[in-house]
Amino acid sequence: MLKTFNINEHYEPTVIPYLQSKKNQSNYICNLIIADMEREAKKVEEENIIDLIRAVVREENQRLKEEINNISKDVDNIKVDLKTEFKVLEAKMPYILKEYLENKR
């Protein structure tokens, strides 16, 4: 028949507290390592979030630059149209004025 293992029979009373102490030290060290790994993971996650935010800001900045550029082109086109219209009106002005004065008489 197999004999069950009784720790008290095989170790002196001072060995058990020593083993318990080693177990506690081991658990403490493991907990420190886990906590350190969690801090590192959090830092990496925060850095990834910051990188994502920077990428979104860069994209939005580029989009806004393009939009401003397009608006600037539209304004330039409007200026050209207005200058053209003004020149046409300037050329017609003597005829319009002459017609106005004739109709007024």
Q: Is residue 79 part of a domain?
A: yes
Q: Given this model, what pLDDT does residue 20 score?
A: 74
Contact indicator for 21, 30 with CB cutoff of 8 Å: no
Q: Tally Cβ neighbours within 10 Å of residue 73.
A: 10
- Indicate if the pLDDT at residue 25 is higher than 80: yes
Q: Is residue 6 part of a domain?
A: no
Q: Is residue 50 part of a domain?
A: yes
Q: Is residue 3 part of a domain?
A: no
State the residue range of the domain holding 73. Answer: 12-104
The count of structural domains within the chain is 1
Determine which of 7-11, 18-22, 64-68 has the lowest per-residue pLDDT on average: 7-11
Reduce the DSSP state of residue 105 to 3 states and report it: coil
- Indicate if the pLDDT at residue 4 is higher than 70: no
Q: Given this model, what pLDDT does residue 49 score?
A: 94
The predicted model gives 51-62 an average pLDDT of: 95
